[in-house]
């Protein structure tokens, strides 16, 4: 299934784990994670799912 949307819900602690796992997708410019503009979601699907599954506060949602 192709990823069409990533949502970072309230509660992100900005721990940086998602950025470490999928650095081409996530970044932490301030206190919370964001998805990088223009990120290729389909080419990084496995890393995105790993980052979502590894999030300690389960705030990364993938659709």
Q: Against a cut of 0.75, is the pTM above it?
A: yes
CA distances from 30 to 13, 27, 42, 43, 49 (A): 10, 9, 26, 26, 23
Chain segment 6-63, per-residue pLDDT in tens: 999 999 999 999 999 999 999 999 999 999 999 999 999 999 999 999 999 999 999 9
Q: For the chain, list the domains and their CATH numbers.
A: 6-62 (3.30.70.20)
DSSP output for 1-13: -----EEE-TT--
């Amino acid at each position: 299934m192709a990823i069409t949307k990533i949502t970072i819900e309230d509660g992100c602690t900005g721990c940086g784990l998602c950025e470490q796992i999928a650095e081409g997708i996530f970044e932490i410019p301030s206190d919370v994670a964001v998805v990088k503009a223009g990120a290729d979601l389909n080419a990084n699907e496995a890393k995105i799912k790993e980052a979502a599954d590894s999030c300690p506060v389960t705030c990364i949602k993938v659709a």
